[in-house]
């Protein structure tokens, strides 16, 4: 067998092994008893949500954009443990203006981009429209549904993460959230969205001090104990905190 043929076979075998590992993880997830509650704010198309929702007895996911909500609802609405809500999570119930971004809505926000952000300055991402969407106060929403403990809280809401997390302060102070993962602005930068409140590392640290410890930093799905190096030119990163024992 020629060297090129061996490489092709090895590449094919690696792909098969990766697929088998993914199937194995999925089967193991399905076999494991579901327990606890997941709250996921900012679903977009539901890709990251899809990797974890099977673990939980109850999942509450929020997506304000009606088109993206319809996609997520088609994917996950058939599962009895999943509740998808077409609403923005904000400080109060009512309506808010959602600015829709050009990158498939991945950067859509209640705010407008900071002029100094590289993605905006380069023209890579723009706000291309806006719409009025329903908003809910998350604490009130959870209380109305009898949710007394959140095992995992995940937030990716484009500059509003700290503001919304503050609405859950009673649950934070009473140690009613097991783990918190949010998109956070580096202290060396401003909020990516110029007209939104503070979303900084130090702001989260102040809110969570005492009851929670930082256990991971990086991007995407975070692993406890792993602290990735964040490039200097990045404005944001994902951070995970876990309830202190």
pLDDT of 28 > 50? The answer is: no
Backbone angles phi and psi of 189, in degrees to 5:
-125, 170
Measure CA 72 to chain center.
14
CB 169, CB 85: distance < 8 Å: no
- Quick one: average pLDDT of 6-27? 55
Residues 26 and 141 in one domain: no
Does residue 128 form part of some domain? no
Lowest mean pLDDT among 13-27, 120-134, 161-175: 13-27
Task: Print the SS3 string covering 141-156.
Answer: HHHHCCCCCEEEEEEC
Shared domain check, 47 and 66: yes
Element (H, E) at 140: helix 138-144
CATH of the domain at 60: 3.40.50.150
Residue 68 falls inside a structural domain:
yes
140 in the same domain as 85: yes
- What integer is the mean pLDDT of 42-62? 97
Instruction: Report the pLDDT averaged over residues 42-53.
Output: 96
**Mean pLDDT along residues 43-62:** 97
- The number of distinct structural domains making up the chain is 2
Dist. CA 221–CA 30, nearest whole Å: 19
Residue 213 has what pLDDT? 97
- What pLDDT does residue 19 have? 59
Indicate the average pLDDT of the chain: 91
pLDDT band at 27; cut points 50, 70, 90? very low
Q: Is the pLDDT of residue 4 over 80?
A: no
């Amino acid at each position: 067998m020629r060297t090129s043929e061996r490489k092709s076979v090895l590449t094919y075998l690696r792909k098969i092994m990766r697929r088998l590992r993914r199937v194995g993880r999925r089967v193991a997830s399905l076999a494991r008893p579901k327990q606890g509650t997941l709250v996921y704010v900012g679903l977009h198309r539901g890709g990251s949500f899809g990797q974890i929702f099977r673990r939980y007895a109850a999942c509450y996911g929020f997506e304000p954009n009606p088109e993206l909500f319809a996609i997520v609802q088609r994917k996950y609405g058939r599962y009895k443990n999943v509740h998808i809500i077409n609403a923005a999570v904000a400080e109060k119930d009512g309506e808010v203006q959602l600015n829709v971004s050009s990158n498939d809505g991945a950067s859509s926000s209640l705010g407008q981009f900071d002029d100094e952000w590289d993605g905006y300055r380069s023209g890579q991402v723009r706000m291309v429209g806006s719409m009025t969407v329903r908003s809910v106060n998350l604490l009130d929403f959870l209380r109305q549904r009898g949710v007394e403990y959140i095992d995992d809280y995940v937030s990716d809401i484009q500059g509003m993460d700290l503001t919304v997390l503050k609405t859950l302060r009673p649950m934070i102070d009473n140690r009613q959230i097991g783990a918190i993962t949010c998109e956070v602005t580096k202290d060396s930068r401003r909020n990516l969205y110029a007209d939104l409140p503070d979303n900084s590392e130090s702001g989260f640290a102040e809110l969570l001090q005492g009851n929670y410890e930082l256990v991971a930093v990086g991007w995407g799905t975070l692993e406890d104990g792993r602290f990735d190096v964040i490039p200097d030119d990045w404005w944001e990163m994902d951070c995970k905190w876990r309830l202190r024992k």
